Each structure stands twice: as C-alpha cells, then as structure tokens.
Amino acid sequence: MNNVDEIKRIEVDEMRQWNGFKEGKWIDEINVDDFINLNYKPYDGDERFLAGPTARTVECNERVKELLAAERKAGGTLKVDASRIMRITAFEPGYILKDKDIIVGLQTDEPLKRGICPFGGIRMVKEELKEYDETLPENLDFMFRYMTTHNDGVFKAYSSEMKQARHLGFITGLPDAYGRGRIIGDYRRAALYGIDRLIAEKEKDHEEIASREIMSEENIRLAEEVWNQIAALKDIKKMAESYGFDISQPASDVKEAIQWLYFAYLAGLKEENGAAMSLGRTATFIDIYAERDLADGRYTEEQIQEFVDDFILKLRVARHLRTGEYNELFGGDPMWITEGLGGVGADGRHRVTKNTYRVLNTLYNLGPAPEPNLTVLWSEKLPEPFKKFCAQVSIDTDSIQYENDDKMRPAYGDDYSIACCVSAIQMGQQMQFFGARCNLAKCLLLAINGGVDERTGEHLGPQMEPMPTDRALDFEEVWRRYCIYLEWLMGVYARIMNIIHFMHDKYDYERSQMAFLDSEVKRLMAFGVAGFSVAADSLSAIKYAKVYPIADENGVIVDYRTEGDFPKYGNDDDRADDLAVALSKKSIEELRKHPTYRNAVTTLSVLTITSNVMYGKRTGNTPDGRRAGEPFAPGANPMHNRDQKGAIASLNSVAKIDWNNCRDGISNTFSIVPDALGKDREARKNVLMGLLSGYFKQGAHHLNVNVLNRETLIDAYHNPDKYPSLTIRVSGYAVRFNALSRAHQKEVIERTFHTAV
C-alpha cells in the first residue's frame, strides 16, 4: 500500500490508534509538533504522584549493575563482536532479561556488546579490534580492500596544509575517521504514524525529487539518499518483527508508543557510531499517550513509570566500539543519548508534563547515571514545582544539565532538541554537520611566532617575523597578527569541514536516522573552539601586564615572563571578559566568510567535551602563565581556580558571551560543594534555583551542575570500587567518574569548586 492519499483516507476514517486525539494539520502532513500542541496537557503540580520502581524494574536494574561491574573489571569494554557489520538487522534479538524486559531491543544480541561500524573508516575498526585482540573476518577484510570508506575519502581530498594543521593540533577531534553523529531523527514519527505511512511519504518525495527537470548534483544525491532512507525504514520493520512487533501501523497505547519510538531510535544506534546519538525530545510526546491510557484505565501510574524505567534502562546499555585515541578526546565512553525536557511552546504554555517528571524519576528508580543525557530546557515560564524538582535532582544525582529555552526557542522554534551537549536542532527539519573544534590558544602562539609551531618548529600559515623578544609584547600588534592567523585558521577549518561532510554523505550516509527527517532538510555546520579562556587570559596578560617572550636557541618563542597582575576571565571584570567576547565574535565572523557544503548555516560552539585535556597537552606555554601540556578549562569555563570572586562573578563572565555568535552552544560546567548552597535540603534547592534563574535571565546558554565535594572525587580516584555509580557532569554531558582516564579524573579534581567562605 504505497499510495499516500489512500493511507490518509483510511487513517482519518478508521485509525483507532488515534481515538481521542484532537485532529489538526498533523493528520494530513507529518507534523509531530502540531500533534503535541493540540493534545498535550501541561502539568503544574509537583513530584508527589511519581511511582517507585517495581520488583521487576529492580531485578533488571540489578542485572545491569552486575554487567556494568563486569564491564569495568574488563577494562571498560565487556564484549566485542567483529563477525559482522553493524546494520539494522545484523543481530538476532537481544535482551537484558528475556522474560522480564517489557520494552525490548538492544543494539546487538547482548547488552554492552559492541559491534563494528566500518563505513566511517576501516582503519579505525582495525585499530579498535587490535586493542581487543580481535581480527576482522576475512570476507570483510577482502570487501574493504575494494571499498572506499568515509575516512579514506577524506584523506584522498585533504591538502598537505590541512593534514599539518590537523596533526600539529590546531584543528583536532574531527569526525574524519569515525561517524559524525549529531543527527537526531524525529523518532516520534514512528509511533504517531507507523512505518508504512512514513515509507509512503518518502516514496512520494522520491518520485518528486527524481522527476525534477534539472538533474543537478544535489538532486541526484538527494534522490539516492531518500531511496536509502526507504530501504532503512523497511529494515526497521523487519528488525521490529524479529522482536515480535509489527510497527507498520501507529502505536495504539503508551507502551507501544515508547516501543515504536525506541525501535526507530535503535535502528540508528545499530548502524551508526556517531559521536553523539541524541534521542530528541520525546517525554512530552509520550505523555499524550500516557494521559489517554490513564484516563481510559488502561494502565496505572506504576505501570507507565515501569515502561519509562525499562526504556531508560535500555538506553543505558548502549555502547560503541572506540579506540584509545578516541577515548582521549571524548572521555567516559559517552553516547550522548540526549533528551530535552520541559521548555515552552509557541503558544506560551510550558511543555512540562507528568512524563517529564517520570523521565527524571528514573534517576531515583534506577539510580544516577550519565545516559541518557537529560537536559532541562530552562525557561522563566517553567512551573515552580518543576524547577524545584530539577534542583533537587541536580543536588541528589549530578546527572542533569540545563539549557536556556528562552534563548533557543526564538531561533529554533518550540520543537527543537539538543544534539550532543549544547547544540539546538529543529526536530525533523534540521540536521547538523559536526565539526569538533580548533585551538584558539595555540593559534595565538602561532601568531606570536609568525607562523612557527611552538612545539615542533614546523612552519605553517602566513609567514612573518616572530614578535621581538627584547621588549614586552605589544597588545595592538599581537591582536593585529592574531586576527591574521585566525582568518587563516578558520579558512583551513572551513575547507576541511566541507570535505569531511561531503565524504560522510557519500560513504557513510545515516539512512536510518535521516529517514525520520524531512527529505528536504536544512543543515547547520557546527564549528567549535577550544582553549577559549586560556586565549582570553593570555590576551589580557599581554594587554594589562607586561609579558616578555622568551625564545629558545632556534629563535622560537616557547615561554613568557609576566610582570604585574592582569584581570582574568571569570571574575565579572569587563576588561578580561570583553576579550573573551571579542574572540567568539572574531571566530564566527571569519567562519561565516566561507561557503559551506550543501549551503549549511555556519554556527559555532564553545564546547570541548573532555578534549580540553588533549588540547592542553598539545599546546606550549601560554602568556597567561599556563604551563605547556596543562589542560585547558573545559568549554567556556574560566580557567581552573582563576575565578576568585565567587560563583556569581564566574557565571556572569560566561553569561556575557553572546549566544547569537555561538548558536551551537556555550558550555559551562559548574561545581559547588553542598554546604555552600545552604544548610539544609530545602534551602539548597531554593538557592540552586535562584542561581539557575539569575544565570539564565541574563541570556546565558548552558550550565552543567555538580553538587559535590572535591574530597568525594579524590576518594573515588583512589577507591573506584567504592563509587560504582558516582556520576558527574563534565562538559555538556555526564560520565561515570570511574569511566574517565586518570588524566581526565585529575583534571576534573583540579577544577574550581565554589565553596562557602
């Protein structure tokens, strides 16, 4: 049945799955936002309705805890299956506990088992397998001798300058050897419409695209892509069938809605090892089904919570096979299964529902955990009891982050979600080209040295005399040069990104995720910067103190002697903060000058994940006094312990960075000891709420909140077994502390903890 109109007619007449739903545009077109708007019920109450875990939930959760302990004991990876390529239907059904699972589906046939995704890069897969003493089966090895992967394609097109900028550490972490991720399918579509309707819509799109008068490169590519999406949708149906479900039709109750949505999401998880695999914004959508079932007496609150718990538990056992080098960039084995919670609709009603609470409640029912990456979309208009509950969850679990809905909504509409950590994307209508980040601090050193890398002496970029070493650095001259080198670096960066995403579309197209987006999708190209606070403080040192460069025997400036004090970013001091603001502005202005692949809109993030450690390692001494190799601060954070005027001054500095220059997100990770928040639980909740409110009222974008003592982390560093589930927020995501490398653990311990005086 491929005729859209026929399907639609049947739907309107006899779609029993939609009984009780208010009709609207969503009936005739794929429009989940419209469905939500017409049918959801905002919830203004508090958390007292929530149900605890059932005996079954506890049992399954215990099983997962055992598996996680075994995984930790095994050094971080429990099992690897190299026998086949990860595809939607590659594996037989898998379960946590076969008779107990109520929401079913695993990436492979066993929880925590990792498979291989070779289309991003076969070399990477071989390295991964070597680390685990596995080898690629002969047939696969043979096949890839004659196939180009994304990674092969990129390196065929890179110039020598690009490779040099990459290996010296000016631009790193690029998705040129692994899946780019950051694509968020609107998996709710599977539940609301059923797969058959989605296939019919895609077939209609395909016919329209393939029949266009001008067969441009873009049209040809798109036609092929949509064809691949249709194939994926058919495979998803097959995969669901293997678990005993027919998902061709819409979901008929809350349990099915969760299950359908999960199958759709799982397909992407099964064949894409993207760096970030966000879930989207599902809680309020699911609530519509939950409310209907509660009203009909079909399910109880306890049952619905149990479905949600089981769904979340499945998300917690998803894994990708990674190399040691990758883990250095993105520590803690993250998946970034990000779910946006709350926010406000276009009509001004907040989108908090009972199910928003249920999702947060999993952190109590199942215990704290890094995944899914729960992200509260904060608005002044969120109901007070919800704000308070979020504050409580932060204090109790350190597992959630906050992003400013009042800032993002005007730009991305009310139905956006968060890719990875901080990047907003319109649900169903946009995708992102992820681009890691370039190193602002290292670029400053390059400018001072006139085009010589401070660590190797290699020449790159525009060539000029180094800054004179017989006098203090002149700020005006340094800034003039820095602008020249930023212009150069951003140019190289933009060209690299175009190559990467061209090749990714060509050789590793995410058909199973793109199948849940509109065929004519809008694209964002997300650039990033690292070393933000180090660069800002270095500029401040040069401007407000006297910084004397010190050259080595080859005339390369490798160190600095600083006389006098200087203002530092993180103290709400405009002198330093203005330099940080100028840096973000200059970066995006330079990037915007360059044409982008598929006309993507250029955006910028100030976010490092945990790569701030690796970036620091590859950057020499900096004029702010930071020593060579020392980690940078993460994201847009002020440098560790330089923010000395207290938490609010620190927050205020970060709040000055204009989100309109950094629409891919400005990450700030904030650690505070419980005693500094107040004497008792009630006071702490109120104070944390006040902090969040004050920060976001100024237009700030993102805050990771950790409420814990440094001593706890030090103890966990020495006694990992005592803290199996200690979860902390690092930079736009949460990790199990134990899953971080020693270097990353140390860096987290070094960070500023705001204390009571």
Partner 1 sequence: MTTGKLHSIETFGAVDGPGIRTIFFLQGCPARCLYCHNPDTWSCEAGREIALEEVLQTAKRSLPYYGKNGGVTFSGGEPLMQEEFVLEAIRMLKRHGIGTVIDTSGTWVDEYTEDIIAECELLLLDVKHSDRRKFEEICGCSQKNLHLVMSLANKYRTPIWVRQVIVPGINDTEDNVDALTSFIKSHIENLYHAELLGYHTMALDKYKKMGLAYRLDGVPPMETGRLRLLNDRLQNALALAVARTAS
Segment interacting with partner 1 (CB under 8 A) among 134-142, 416-424, 584-592, 686-694 = 686-694
User: In angstroms, what is the minimal distance from the CB of 294 to partner 1?
Assistant: 33
Cα separation of 615 and 747, whole Å? Answer: 13
Which residue's CB is nearer to partner 1, number 65 or number 754?
Answer: 754
Compute the distance between CA of residue 650 and CA of residue 647 in angstroms, rounded to an integer. Answer: 5
Look up 390 and say whether it is catalytic. no
For residue 400, the minimal CB distance to partner 1 (Å) is 20
Judged by CB under 8 A, the stretch of 146-154, 336-344, 680-688, 704-712 that binds partner 1 is 680-688
Residues 197-216, mask of contacts with partner 1 (x by CB under 8 A):
--------------------
Which DSSP string corresponds to 601-663? EEEEEE--TTHHHHHHHT----TTSPPTTPPPPSTTPPPTTT--S-HHHHHHHHHTS-GGG-T
Q: What residue has token string 């049992």?
A: 59
Using CB under 8 A as the binding rule, whether residue 673 contacts partner 1 is answered as no
Which region, judged by CB under 8 A, interacts with partner 1, from 12-20, 310-318, 464-472, 691-699?
Answer: 691-699
Binding test (CB under 8 A) with partner 1, winner from 97, 693, 714, 721: 693
The residue from 102, 143, 649, 743 that contacts partner 1 (CB under 8 A) is 649
Q: Which residue, among 398, 160, 157, 409, has the nearest Cα to 281 in the 3D structure? A: 409
Indicate whether 362 belongs to the interface with partner 1 (CB under 8 A).
no
- 736: phi then psi, degrees, rounded to nearest 5: -75, 130
Given 66, 679, 711, 721, the residue binding partner 1 (CB under 8 A): 679
CA distance 664 to 685: 29
Q: Which segments of 274-380 does DSSP mark as H helices, in order?
A: 283-296, 301-316, 324-329, 354-365
Least distance in Å: CB of 683 to partner 1?
5
Stretch that binds partner 1, among 101-109, 319-327, 367-375, 688-696 (CB under 8 A): 688-696
What lies within 8 Å, CB to CB, of 213 at 6+ separation is none
* Three-state SS at 473: coil
Using the rule CB under 8 A, which residue among 294, 483, 648, 743 binds partner 1? 648
Residue 646 found at the interface with partner 1 (CB under 8 A): yes
Tell me: does residue 687 bind partner 1 (CB under 8 A).
yes
Using CB under 8 A, pick the residue from 383, 385, 413, 678 that binds partner 1.
Answer: 678
Task: Assess 380 for contact with partner 1 (CB under 8 A).
Answer: no
CB 327 within 8 A of CB 741: yes
Nearer to partner 1 by Cβ, of 302 and 682: the residue is 682
Distance CA 578, CA 568 (A): 11
Q: Which of 60, 117, 421, 443 is catalytic?
A: 421
Q: Which one, 223 or 657, has the nearer CB to partner 1? A: 657
Helix, strand, coil % in the chain, rounded to nearest 5: 50, 15, 40
Q: Sort residue 646 into left (φ over 0), alpha (ψ -120 to 50) or beta.
A: left
The interface with partner 1 within residues 543-582 (CB under 8 A) comprises: 572
Nearest approach, Cβ of 719 to partner 1 (angstroms)?
21
Residue 406 beta carbon to partner 1: minimum distance, rounded to whole angstroms: 13
CB of 738 to partner 1, least distance (A): 27
Query: Encoding tokens for residue 451?
Result: 């085009």
- Which of helix, strand or coil describes residue 741? coil
Rule CB under 8 A: is residue 522 a binding residue for partner 1?
A: no
Q: Which is nearer to partner 1, 441 or 672 (CB)?
A: 672
- Burial level of 554, CB count in 10 A (0-12/13-18/19+)? exposed
Q: Which of 683, 711, 721, 722 binds partner 1 (CB under 8 A)?
A: 683
DSSP string covering 367-405, please? ---S-SEEEEEE-TTS-HHHHHHHHHHHHHH---EEEEH
Q: Which stretch binds partner 1 (CB under 8 A): 76-84, 337-345, 548-556, 690-698?
A: 690-698
CB of 685 vs partner 1, minimal distance in Å: 9
- Let me know if 420 is a catalytic residue: yes
CB of 647 to partner 1, least distance (A): 4
* 444: phi then psi, degrees, rounded to nearest 5: -65, -40
Return the residue of 690, 711, 714, 721 that touches partner 1, per CB under 8 A. Answer: 690
Task: Work out whether 711 is an interface residue with partner 1 (CB under 8 A).
Answer: no
CA of 486: how far to CAs of 171, 461, 557, 589, 658, in Å? 12, 10, 19, 10, 19
Count residues contacting partner 1 (CB under 8 A)? 28
Nearer to partner 1, 59 or 675 (CB): 675
Rounded-to-integer distance, Cα 231 and Cα 366, Å: 36
Contacting partner 1 (CB under 8 A), which of 652, 669, 727, 745?
652
User: Is 695 one of the binding residues for partner 1 (CB under 8 A)?
Assistant: yes
The CB-of-377 to partner 1 minimum distance in angstroms stands at 19
| 697 is a site residue for partner 1 (CB under 8 A) | yes
Piece of 267-275, 443-451, 487-495, 649-657 that binds partner 1 (CB under 8 A)? 649-657
SS3 for 113? strand
Which is catalytic among the residues 420, 438, 443, 662? 420
How many angstroms separate the first and last alpha carbons of the chain?
Answer: 70
Instruction: Count other C-beta atoms under 10 Å from residue 415's C-beta.
Output: 27
- Antiparallel, parallel or unpaired: β 601-606 and 557-563: unpaired
Active site residues: 420-421
What residue ranges bind partner 1 (CB under 8 A)? Answer: 572, 645-650, 652, 675-680, 682-683, 686-687, 690-691, 693-695, 697-698, 754, 756-757
